[in-house]
Chains A and B, each alone.
Chain A
Amino acid sequence: MAIDRNGTPLVEMRDISIAFGGVKAVDHVTVDLYPGEVVGLLGHNGAGKSTLIKCLSGAYQQDSGDIYINGDKVSISNPRDARRYNIETIYQTLALADNLDAASNLFLGREIVGPTGLLDDNKMEAETRKVMHRLNPNFKNFNSPVSSYSGGQRQSVAIARAVHFNAKILIMDEPTAALGPHETQMVADLIQELKRQGLGIFLIDHDVHQVKKLCDRANVMKNGQLVGTANVEDVSADDLLGMIIAGKCPPGAIPGPGAIQE
């Protein structure tokens, strides 16, 4: 799979920093993403990967640094802005309203309304049935609240919500953390499908094997700094582990400011 990295990147986060009460959660990090590419973000808990990506999804705002979408500098100050740039996020916590059903969650913030301005629940449910049938054919209970769903079903709803609205840029925060093997495979297939459609995907994960399997490139972060960026074919799983644990940048990778100097 050849990804053209000569053109303008879909997303470029340049020199991003954000601090919470004196702790530098993200420290001058630069990452980019091209169309049809899956870029992994690796690191320990607290390495700053989720914080970095939340600047893109609008949950946080960076203290310094700029974000470029298709080469244009943008300002994303809340999740509504992110949606306007076709950035969709699947959060680790899935961010579903437990008391509402699948259709209400799928269309939350983007409801279909009829000519009278009232919600068209039947149309939303029909759309939801269509989308869910494609993602998870076993899914049946459309009228019960999300709180009664299994982990995989909840994940299906969260993914359906992200992909249904013509996302160009997809952020997945540990999408397979709560899933069984079958459902994990489902997510992997979906990622390949979305790649073919030309979406750019940021994938946050702990699991180096998962990243090697799903991603084209990987960025490793440690203590808020970027250790390095590598094509996953050029480095081994052990190399990636070394980057995560020791901050050691292997020969096949491009070192970042967080790499230890030898």
Chain B
Amino acid sequence: MTDADKPARPAQKKNLFAQLELDTRLLGMIGAFIILCIGFHLVTDGRFLTSRNIFNLTIQTVSVAIMATGMVFVIVTRNIDLSVGSLLATCSAVMAMTQTFITPEVFGLGLNHPATAPIAIVVGIATGVVIGAFQGYIIGYLGVPAFIVTLGGLLVWRNVAWYLTNGQTIGPLDRNFMQFGGINGTLGETWSWIIGIIAVLFAFYSFWRSRRSKIAHEFPVKPVWAEVVMAGITAIAILGFVAVLNNYDVPRRRLQQMFEARGEVMPDGFTQGYGLPISVLLLIAVAIVMTIVARRTRLGRYIFATGGNPDAAELSGINTRLLTVKIFAIMGGLCGLAALVASARLSFHSNDIGTLDELRVIAAAVIGGTALAGGVGTIYGAILGALIMQSLQSGMAMVGVDAPFQNIVVGAVLVIAVLIDTIYRMRTGAK
């Protein structure tokens, strides 16, 4: 009897997932993440899953997650970039010098001028793109392996940053610039709800459009109930996230200062939540753009084709050398963006900013399911990977695990995650 029941159950289960068209690997990762969070929550007597900690976790993850999305493209094409942490430092140094020296003194704009932050950001991202493209040129056109070029870059760009700043810490940074750092720049409750609702409506619209396009081409579509369930889950996830971030209240002292600055008196019992940090919004924007690039553009298609079979890509007329340059340029640009978030969060540029970030970024991409053999990887996976890494690290710090053990655990988790993924792929025959 039990024997007869057994095979029916997995078949039914598979059917459910198939009908929802969900990625089982993604579900596995989300499952692992939830177990991790609940585990820490229990061990820390309920301090882990608080609005405050979730807020901090998200803003701590942003910088690495932004770079991890670019690392997906790099690893998918069978390359590696070990220079991202150092490149971040160079971009950060350039941005810090632009806003504390070049715009106020050379351009004579003074401190905290509205044009300062945009100029610094553009200069910083451009620096990343140029350096990334330069490394990509050496890899793609001159044929030096990416491992060597970026290992050299690891040393070179860290010390270029040092040389540029004479090793000094530069701060405080521009007031508008620091809005991108996380807690210094949040949207507040009302705007967070507005953004959340817009996101939900947009998600509904894209579900509907995708379904309509499939029907127009007479492809099979999933049942309506499955669409409704997926839309419901998406809406709950987005609005739940906004609710949690809105629930983290700005401390009373800070609110009082804000009212005093405006020359008003704070009413009794007044509270205000932080809401969505601008840096998290930036990460979401990067994630959406990178996902569209990966799935819906020629560039993305060529990246995955080249990763799957470089010879086939070349014979199909794809310029794989130029493609390499583009990929590393994108990676460099994202390092510039990550430098913006990282230095704004610290509120200054320091010499050791981004140290060891290359390892965190590669680990995030790999935990997120990007295969070093090439051809496979997702943007959302990499972001989830970064979130898992950060949760593990700050969870252990909250529990009071000794620093050496924290790193030992993180290192072991990386290897185990890849091992589980390898076993999963062998079992399912997926590549």
Report which A residues bind B (CB closer than 8 A): 57, 59, 78-80, 83, 89, 91, 93-100, 104-105, 108-111, 113, 117-119, 121-123, 125-126, 145, 147-148
Best-surrounded residue of B295, B304, B316 (most CB of chain A within 10 A): B316
Q: How far is the CB of B94 from chain A (nearest CB, A)?
A: 32
In the assembled complex, the Cα of A99 lies from the Cα of B370 at a distance in Å of: 13
Known A-B contacts A80-B317, A109-B317, A148-B429; the reply to A96 vs B312 at CB < 8 A is yes
Main SS of the interface on chain B?
Answer: helix
- Residue contact A97 to B308, C-beta cutoff 8 Å: yes
- Residue contact A104 to B315, C-beta cutoff 8 Å: no
* 4 additional contacts (CB under 8 A) given A97-B305, A99-B307, A122-B216: A79-B317, A108-B318, A121-B296, A122-B219
Q: How far is the CB of B25 from chain A (nearest CB, A)?
A: 14
In the assembled complex, the Cα of A78 lies from the Cα of B314 at a distance in Å of: 9
In the assembled complex, the Cα of A83 lies from the Cα of B318 at a distance in Å of: 12
- Residue contact A97 to B312, C-beta cutoff 8 Å: yes
Q: How far is the CB of B185 from chain A (nearest CB, A)?
A: 31
Task: Tell me which residues across on chain A come within 8 A of B140, comparing CB atoms.
Answer: none
- Residue contact B217 to A108, C-beta cutoff 8 Å: no
Answer yes or no: B105 CB below 8 A from chain A CBs. Answer: no
Place the interface of chain B in its size category: 20 to 34
Known A-B contacts A97-B375, A126-B217; the reply to A104 vs B314 at CB < 8 A is no
| Partner of B217 from A78, A79, A97, A123 at Cβ < 8 Å | A123
* Residue of A whose beta carbon sits closest to that of B213: A122
- Residue contact A99 to B296, C-beta cutoff 8 Å: no
Q: How far is the CB of B222 from chain A (nearest CB, A)?
A: 13
| Partner of B301 from A79, A91, A94, A108 at Cβ < 8 Å | A108
Task: Tell me which residues across on chain A come within 8 A of B305, comparing CB atoms.
Answer: 97, 100, 104-105, 108
| Partner of B308 from A78, A91, A99 at Cβ < 8 Å | A99
Answer yes or no: B169 CB below 8 A from chain A CBs. Answer: no
Known A-B contacts A104-B305, A119-B301; the reply to A79 vs B429 at CB < 8 A is no
- Residue contact B315 to A79, C-beta cutoff 8 Å: yes
Q: How far is the CB of B207 from chain A (nearest CB, A)?
A: 15
| Shortest beta-carbon contacts, A-B, top 3 | A99-B308, A99-B375, A97-B308
